[in-house]
Amino acid sequence: MAQVLEFKLPDLGEGLTEAEVVRWLVEVGDVVAVDQPVVEVETAKAMVEVPCPYGGVVTARFGEEGTELPVGAPLLTVAVGSPEATESRGASGGPSGDGAGSEASGNVLVGYGTGAPAARRRRVRPAPVGQAPTTAAHLAPATAADPAPTTAARSAPVRASAPTSVPVLGAVAPQGPVAVISPLVRKLARQHGLDLRQVAGSGRDGLILRTDVESAIRAADEDAAAVPSTPARPEPDTSGERIPLRGVRGAVAEKLSRSRREIPDATCWVDADATELMAARAAMNAAGPKVSVLALLARICTAALARFPELNSTVDAEAREIVRLTGVHLGFAAQTERGLVVPVVRDAHTRNAESIGAEIARLTEAARDGKLTPAQLTGGTFTLNNYGVFGVDGSTPIINHPEAAMLGVGRIVPKPWVHEGELAVRQVVQLSLTFDHRVCDGGTAGGFLRYVADCVEQPAVLLRTL
């Protein structure tokens, strides 16, 4: 007897709450195996092939190509234990047991591929006198030193206690941090301009549920409808093409806006004579594998961060602490057809220029093919932005939140320069450093930038400090 099981869009990791259906890999009536990719979706981070945890016959698909679906929405249904699936497995030599138990992996997709769910992190919440302490999911914002909550923590069900009254806008909110686990609940509140601190949660430990937010929205709409209307003003002309702010463009917009809101940044810059650096690169390429200018600048950055570790850090605003990081995971800006992405070279502080260059080339190719995984686009501690490839001299970079600094590099062009007391034509580049003023003052930032410029002008400086 066939059993029809529904497969929903799983949690894709890294706080992603929706994905766009790019291409279906199966048709209704197809027989699928356990963990066979059935659909290709595009998130704000990367293109991902989603595997189905059930084996059987596809009976329905949900969502046309180009449709954006939230996490938890139905993707397809599979008839498990059907004769067609049994015959297919028998012909291929695969398992042929009946029932869902032998035709489901039970795995959970996280980021890219399937794997076992991670353990849920919990914290003890102080209780009133005379009561035992209760627990709630950890709600502090993630930093590089405090990774994002695991999939189990984000998607684990929460049993809500029966509400004693309907929460409305303006109700007294619980003391302490806003108790919200679901990203969808936060997004719903943000879309309606709702302050979650003014919403009383009906879930356990004051957890704010979706029904609480919807009730507060309805109450706000009723209050607005009761206010006497004022004479209408002429509306501005808003005709024109409207482009949805989603996918990579939407993720970039959100991250840059958050950086501007939360980070008090400052920028310093300097012109440097890159003639000797270009000569050193030519000599290296003549003697061995070719090394790019970006790889040399990346190696200079890792050496500079070893001398000025304040810039390889992040700020935990809730704890009022600067988290100084031990490893350097170097992000670099890469322009693709899908938009700007920032792949990350892991453990860049342990690599030489040749190794960094090879990893940059590998990640850049994957970015252009749209095959970067979410894990390859997150976890950076410092970013290098070579906007000189666009033919511009300078810029004021926006810090890649939650990092503390970004080095921008302009184009390298011949310019008049005083060299050894004589006017000469030299290869000149402008370097700009945008930094989080909370982690250091201008002296540290200036020292970092000056060291980078010295290495560009005299590559032997780097050799002396290794």
Looking at residue 178, what DSSP letter applies? -
| pLDDT band, residue 171 (cuts 50/70/90) | very low
The rounded percent of the chain whose pLDDT value lies above 70 is 74
| pLDDT band, residue 2 (cuts 50/70/90) | confident
What is the rounded average pLDDT of the residues 265-292?
A: 94
Of the spans 72-86, 247-261, 320-334, 452-466, which averages the highest pLDDT? 320-334
Count of positions (residues) in the chain = 466
What is the rounded average pLDDT of the residues 149-176?
A: 38
* Per-residue pLDDT at 85: 60
Report the alpha-carbon distance of residue 328 to residue 313 in Å, rounded. Answer: 9
Report the SS3 class of residue 434: strand
Lowest mean pLDDT among 104-108, 129-133, 312-316, 393-397: 129-133
Specify the amino acid at residue 359: E
Report the alpha-carbon distance of residue 289 to residue 357 in Å, rounded. Answer: 10
From the list 148, 147, 143, 149, the residue with the least C-alpha distance to 404 is 143
Report the alpha-carbon distance of residue 420 to residue 276 in Å, rounded. Answer: 13
Question: What ranges make up the beta strands (E) of 301-357?
Answer: 313-316, 321-324, 330-332, 334-336, 339-341, 344-345
What is the rounded average pLDDT of the residues 76-91?
A: 71
Report the alpha-carbon distance of residue 416 to residue 434 in Å, rounded. Answer: 27
Q: What are phi and psi of 178, to 5 degrees?
A: -65, 125
Residue 450 has pLDDT above 80, yes or no: yes
Specify the amino acid at residue 302: T
Report the SS3 class of residue 250: helix
The region, left, alpha or beta by phi > 0 then psi within -120 to 50, assigned to residue 311 is alpha
What is the rounded average pLDDT of the residues 152-169?
A: 37
Residue 417 has pLDDT above 60, yes or no: yes
Chain mean pLDDT for the chain? 79
Report the SS3 class of residue 370: coil
Helix locations, 126-232, DSSP H: 151-155, 183-191, 210-226
* Per-residue pLDDT at 255: 86
Residues 108, 113, 116, 119: is their CA dihedral positive or negative? negative
Report the alpha-carbon distance of residue 303 to residue 102 in Å, rounded. Answer: 54
What is the rounded average pLDDT of the residues 77-102?
A: 58
Residues 6+ apart with CB under 8 A from 273: 417, 419, 426, 427, 428, 456, 457
Residue 344 has pLDDT above 90, yes or no: yes
Residues 6+ apart with CB under 8 A from 90: 96
pLDDT digits (tens, 9 = 90+) for 351-399: 999 999 999 999 999 998 888 888 898 999 999 999 999 999 999 889 9
Question: What ranges make up the beta strands (E) of 53-181?
Answer: 56-61, 68-70, 74-80, 108-109, 114-115, 122-125, 134-137
pLDDT digits (tens, 9 = 90+) for 197-230: 888 888 777 778 888 888 889 888 887 777 665 6
> pTM value?
0.56
C-alpha of 11 from chain center = 14
Residue 108 has pLDDT above 90, yes or no: no
Report the alpha-carbon distance of residue 104 to residue 80 in Å, rounded. Answer: 9
* Per-residue pLDDT at 43: 77
Written as one string, the DSSP assignment of 329-340 is: -EEE-EEETTEE
The Cα-based distances of 175 to 58, 165, 202 in angstroms read 48, 18, 14
Of the spans 21-25, 133-137, 293-297, 337-341, which averages the highest pLDDT? 293-297
| pLDDT band, residue 107 (cuts 50/70/90) | low
Q: What are phi and psi of 454, to 5 degrees?
A: -65, -40
* Per-residue pLDDT at 386: 94
Please pick, among 138, 349, 419, 437, the residue that the annotation labels catalytic. 437
Q: Is 437 one of the annotated active-site residues of the chain?
A: yes
| pLDDT band, residue 119 (cuts 50/70/90) | very low
* Per-residue pLDDT at 319: 94
Residue 409 has pLDDT above 60, yes or no: yes
Instruction: Tokens for 371, please give them.
Output: 């095959």
From the list 166, 189, 193, the residue with the least C-alpha distance to 178 is 189
| pLDDT band, residue 133 (cuts 50/70/90) | very low
